[in-house]
């Protein structure tokens, strides 16, 4: 069985119980033997999770479940209205729990996204 382990300098690939078959470096490139490729350190911005990124992630999930776009690796969009409804409910819960505590930009993003997915839901129901 092949597996990967994270190290300070890259991903250590192994087969079964035997030690490193290779190191997997930048861009997934395999480097044989003991060679190691120094991994770039993510910037502070890449590490930081934000409320806006959470809202956008949930919005993207809702749109995929509504059939507006295909899941990664899928040729055609797949519609799952139950999952879409659940994600919309999560967005509504976030809106209620964060009322009055968001920046103007975050509030506008959440409101516009909720409006968009709420308007697309009935259309997706009619098409199903």
Separation CA 68–CA 3 (nearest Å): 35
Domain that holds residue 62: 45-127
Which of 69, 65, 70 shows the shortest CA–CA distance to 84?
65
Assigned domain for 27 exists: yes
> Chain centroid to CA 79: how far?
18
Tell me the two tokens of residue 32. Answer: 């044989």
CB of 98 closer than 8 Å to CB of 90: no
d(CA 73, CA 62): 17
Q: Rounded to two decimals, what is the model's pTM? A: 0.61
d(CA 13, CA 25): 10
| Domain assignment of residue 40, yes or no | no
**Taking the chain (128 residues) in consecutive chunks of 10 residues, what is each chunk's mean pLDDT?**
46 43 48 49 69 94 89 80 97 97 96 96 91
Q: Do residues 20 and 55 share a domain? A: no
Give the per-residue pLDDT at 34: 44
Domain count, the chain: 2
For the chain, how many residues are written? Answer: 128
Chain centroid to CA 62: how far?
A: 12
Q: Is residue 7 part of a domain?
A: yes
> Domain for residue 71, yes or no?
yes
Tell me: do 51 and 21 sit in the same domain. Answer: no
Predicted pLDDT at 69: 79
Could you tell me if residue 51 is inside a domain?
yes
């Amino acid at each position: 069985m092949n597996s990967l382990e994270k190290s300070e300098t890259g991903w250590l690939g192994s087969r079964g119980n035997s030690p490193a078959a290779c190191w997997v470096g930048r861009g997934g490139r395999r480097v044989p033997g003991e060679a190691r490729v120094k991994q770039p350190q993510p910037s502070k911005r890449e590490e930081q999770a934000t409320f806006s990124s959470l809202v956008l992630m949930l919005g993207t999930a809702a749109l995929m479940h509504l059939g507006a776009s295909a899941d990664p690796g899928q040729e055609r969009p797949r519609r799952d209205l139950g999952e879409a409804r659940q994600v919309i409910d999560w967005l509504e819960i976030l809106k209620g729990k964060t009322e009055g505590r968001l920046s103007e930009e975050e509030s506008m993003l959440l409101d516009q996204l909720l409006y968009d997915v709420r308007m697309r839901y009935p259309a997706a129901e009619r098409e199903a």
